[in-house]
Amino acid sequence: MGINLRISIWVLVGLVGLASCSKFRKIQKSEDWRIKYDAGLAYYEKKDYYHTAILFEEILPIVRGLPEGEKVEYYLAYCQYYEKQYLLASSQFRTFYETYGRSAYAQEAYFMYAYSLYISAPAPNLDQRSTIEGMNAMQNFINQYPESSFTDRANEVIMVSQQKLEKKGYENAKQYLKIRSYKAAVIAFENFRKNFPDSHYLEEVAYLRVVAEYNLAQQSLPGLQLERFNTVISYYMELIESYPDSTYLKAAEKLYSESLNKINKLKNNNS
């Protein structure tokens, strides 16, 4: 392609862009909300969610309460969703559901409210408040619409959310162990076992609880050591009862033996 032809194409693209921009500005300046409404729908059909959102946000205060207001709020929520503004979308879907509870779109809006919260949630190592809120909202959706066509997706969201929370709880507990905050680690491992009774991490957690309790006993004041080394023994017995073929048994048995020795020494010293 010759340089002159390329320049001509660039000029043409620029002119088309300017014309499109000029057209939008003209629509935006119109005092007739119907012109903006029709244009917004046209932009939406072209998947131009950015321009749709601008126009619909401008006319929303005017059309709220009118028949067109329902569609404006519904499409505005989807514009925010497609623009990846998930928390805004979630809020907008919720507003729609609360405002138009009898709408044909109400059920989908409720699902999208919960789904947008779920999508907005960060990686498992970060704060999971959005995950918890989204999961609870999704469970409420299932309770309210058990026969919905969105039920399978809602159940999948709940399952994935639980897995994220499980991983978060597991990593948090291990982090306490890593930074040598042993008492907090023991509590975190205990809470994990209660909150996730079916987790595939449970065998490792049972072993790490022995490790955390042993280290806690080691650094404790003499008056607390006897009780805490006895707790190590209890945790070890729970481990071998629950997981007799565990790959952690050899390492745990060493801590068990050392704890028995410590207990005997403490008892001799106190006699």
Which is it for the CA torsion 111, 116, 122, 127, positive or negative?
Answer: negative
Contact at 8 Å (CB) between 201 and 162? Answer: no
Is residue 156 included in any domain, yes or no?
no
Whether pLDDT at 150 is above 60 = yes
Q: Report d(CA 80, CA 62) in Å as an integer.
A: 20
Is residue 51 included in any domain, yes or no?
no
Domain containing residue 214: 180-271
Is residue 263 included in any domain, yes or no?
yes
Q: What is the pTM of this model?
A: 0.77
Which parts of the chain fold into alpha helices (H)?
Answer: 3-29, 33-45, 49-63, 67-82, 86-99, 106-120, 129-144, 151-178, 182-195, 202-218, 222-242, 249-270
Nearest to 97 by CA among 84, 111, 114, 110: 110
Cα 84 → chain centroid: 15
Is residue 77 included in any domain, yes or no?
no
The upper half-sphere exposure of residue 225, i.e. CA atoms within 13 Å in the direction of its Cβ, equals 19
- For residue range 176-223, what is the model confidence (pLDDT) as tens digits? 999 999 999 999 999 999 999 999 999 999 999 999 999 999 999 988
Q: Residue 244 has what DSSP assignment? A: T
Is residue 126 included in any domain, yes or no?
no
Please count the structural domains in the chain: 1
**CATH number of the domain encompassing residue 189:** 1.25.40.10
Is residue 85 included in any domain, yes or no?
no
Q: Report d(CA 169, CA 60) in Å as an integer.
A: 43
Task: Check residues 28 and 75 and name the one with the higher pLDDT.
Answer: 75
Nearest to 118 by CA among 86, 94, 163, 152: 86
Task: Check residues 110 and 16 and name the one with the higher pLDDT.
Answer: 110
- Give the alpha-carbon dihedral of 39, 45, 47, 53, to 10 degrees: 40
Residue 232 pLDDT grade (very low, low, confident, very high; cuts 50, 70, 90): very high
Contact at 8 Å (CB) between 112 and 93? Answer: yes
Is residue 173 included in any domain, yes or no?
no
The two tokens of residue 76 are 């505005």
